[in-house]
Structure 1
Amino acid sequence: MYAGIASALLTLSAGACGPSATSSLPEDDEGRPAPRAGFSVRYELPAAPDRANAAFLRGHRVMEQGATDVNEFVRAGAVAVVGRSCGGEGSAYDPEARRIEICYDDVAQERELFEGAGVRPADVEVAAVLAETFFHEAGHAFVDLLGLELDDRAEEDAADQFAALMLIRRGAAGERQLRVAAREYELSAAAGDAGTAGQEAGVRDEHSSHLVRASNHLCYLYGADPTRNTDLVGTKLLSRERASRCGEEWRGMRDAWQKRLASVAAASD
């Protein structure tokens, strides 16, 4: 099992972009029985202001593709992935319910951020940020499933690393998504938002700063594939000095998650 996970971590496969955002509105899937293991996806009916956002999320299959990617690693205790209207609370992982909530209203928030920076249309960017958000929350789920004793900041950093790992694993397409996620953090920092888009206001101080998170994502990108990402070096977010250590940083965090996931796999056999 460990060897299989290690192979999966080192195999880069490009992800599909998904269908158009003009998909029909999601039905309420709450009554659908959840599998006993792995990540499963369902949608709640959106509040009226979120109908277009809900259609976007389902149309781009962000949660379905993310759940498939995670389930290719390991099937542990069941984790529900729910699209829903959150009223501005932000996407999050609920450890008591073992549920990831991806918020329809995050779509509008991310679109506003990128369109404010002159990106129109911003569909690709919004989908990329939501993919990173999904994997970040999945990282929290694995911390929970593993029973890891991490303080708040360490857990947030580990979740960011898991998100970077999963996107890099998608190959060139995932690397582009991770670049967009780093850009989102940079834009949020420029906008003076003290927290992280897609996170609940009450827990924002648990995260590293926006610029640190952006820099870390770019460092992992460069460390994983210096040839394809050489343009990142010498920028304001990735100095040449740090870039020289990014290969080691990438391998360290990849191997740490590899061992953690192997532990979950062994427990589920």
Structure 2
Amino acid sequence: MLHHAGAGPRTPARAWRARALVVAGVCTAALATACGPRSQAAAPPTGGGLSVSYEAPLRGGADERAFLRGRRLPEKVAEDLNRSVRLPGRVQIVGRSCKQNDTPEYDPQTGRITLCYGFIGEVRSMFEADRGSGAVGDTEERTAGVVTETLYHEAGHALLDKLDLPFTGHEEDVADQFAAYRLLGQGDAGRAALLAAADNYDQYAHAAALHGLADADPSDEHAPDAARSASYRCYLYGSAPATGRSKEYRALVDGKRLSKERAGLCEEEYEDLRRGWGRLLAPHAAGR
């Protein structure tokens, strides 16, 4: 996850906690840890747009690549954005085994979004452990939700870079808002994906606390994981008008991750991000 074009890859908030979790045995030992030769890449669109390719996995990762390809998660994100946005340059989503960190990132120097197979295995293992503690939800669907949110987040970085979009505040927050913007327009499946991502950020924050690690790093451009979870829950809550909020939506306001005070502002927060991203992308709409 990166800020500006020309910068080098940066370590996201998840990454250093993930390393500690691996040492602690929370994540499976089968996470991919090496980079290998590429498989045949899909041809990128002529002129610009997003394309998808997969590299051959090494030392684990075969199941994760099959998971991605079987569900076409990168392809669906690429198709959605290619239908909606006219990009002046090419962006390639690449599934691969990674040398370290296993953390997704966008690199503006190469125009590449890297999605590590090890990241998918890590998320799946966390949801499996969650089920063992009595949590409700299908592990595969929740994992797919996190991967989809992650792809939209990294695509948000790519759009800010390729379209040179103006923004204020932290770019990581803006990329989170883009992920919410796209997912909340996709009905029940999109809302479930955003909630899965919120749950996963809660898991990282909780695991960090269990191992004596701080959730907040003053030098990190990312918001703390717990804060990112709260914001996603806020956007979910705010996307449903007050008159139409079901019991499921009201349950998001639990007084811990989302307070009543914050919930009172969520409809406005959601409208702000929806209008903001709508205006930013309007001049770049496909077909213009």
Question: In structure 2, what is the equivalent of residue 9 of structure 1?
Answer: none
Question: In structure 2, what is the equivalent of residue 122 of structure 1?
Answer: 139
Indicate yes or no: 2:228 matched with 1:213: yes
Cα distance in 2 for partners of 1:33, 1:187 equals 37
Question: In structure 1, what is the equivalent of residue 263 of structure 2?
Answer: 243
Cα distance in 1 for partners of 2:283, 2:171 equals 17
CA displacement at 1:134 relative to structure 2: 0.2
Indicate yes or no: 2:147 matched with 1:136: no
Question: Structure 1 unaligned runs (5+)?
Answer: 1-26, 197-203
Identity, % of aligned pairs?
Answer: 40
Contact 1:76-1:265 at 8 Å conserved across structures:
no
User: Are residues 142 and 110 of structure 1, via their aligned partners in 2, closer, same or farther at CA, if it must alter by over 3 Å?
Assistant: same
Cα distance in 2 for partners of 1:112, 1:87 equals 20
Cα distance in 2 for partners of 1:188, 1:95 equals 27
Deviations 1:168-224 (A, max 9, x none): 11111110111111000001100007699xxxxxxx922100111001001111111
3-state DSSP of counterpart to 2:279? helix
Question: In structure 1, what is the equivalent of residue 185 of structure 2?
Answer: 169
Indicate yes or no: 2:87 matched with 1:98: no
Deviations 1:21-62 (A, max 9, x none): xxxxxx8123x4311222111111111311111111111211
Cα distance in 2 for partners of 1:251, 1:164 equals 12
CA displacement at 1:66 relative to structure 2: 1.1
Question: What value does the CA root-mean-square deviation take over the aligned residues?
Answer: 2.5
Cα distance in 2 for partners of 1:121, 1:230 equals 22
Cα distance in 2 for partners of 1:60, 1:133 equals 15
Contact 1:146-1:260 at 8 Å conserved across structures:
no
Contact 1:88-1:105 at 8 Å conserved across structures:
no
Contact 2:87-2:163 at 8 Å conserved across structures:
no
Deviations 1:51-87 (A, max 9, x none): 1111111112110111122122212122111111113
Question: In structure 2, what is the equivalent of residue 4 of structure 1?
Answer: none
Structure having the higher helix fraction is 1
Question: In structure 1, what is the equivalent of residue 74 of structure 2?
Answer: 63
Question: In structure 2, what is the equivalent of residue 39 of structure 1?
Answer: 50
Question: In structure 2, what is the equivalent of residue 146 of structure 1?
Answer: 163
Cα distance in 2 for partners of 1:33, 1:176 equals 31
Question: In structure 1, what is the equivalent of residue 29 of structure 2?
Answer: none
Cα distance in 1 for partners of 2:116, 2:214 equals 16
Return the letter of the residue paired with 1:81.
I
Which of the residues 206, 222, 247 maps onto 2:237? Answer: 222
Which of the residues 47, 62, 69 maps onto 1:51? Answer: 62
Aligned residue pairs total: 235
Cα distance in 2 for partners of 1:79, 1:186 equals 30
Question: Structure 2 unaligned runs (5+)?
Answer: 1-37
CA displacement at 1:124 relative to structure 2: 1.1
TM-score by length of 1: 0.80
Contact 1:164-1:217 at 8 Å conserved across structures:
yes
Contact 1:40-1:80 at 8 Å conserved across structures:
yes
Cα distance in 2 for partners of 1:219, 1:48 equals 39
Q: How does 1:165-204 map to 2 (within 5 A)?
A: 165-192=181-208
Return the letter of the residue paired with 2:204.
S
Indicate yes or no: 2:272 matched with 1:252: yes
Cα distance in 2 for partners of 1:195, 1:178 equals 24
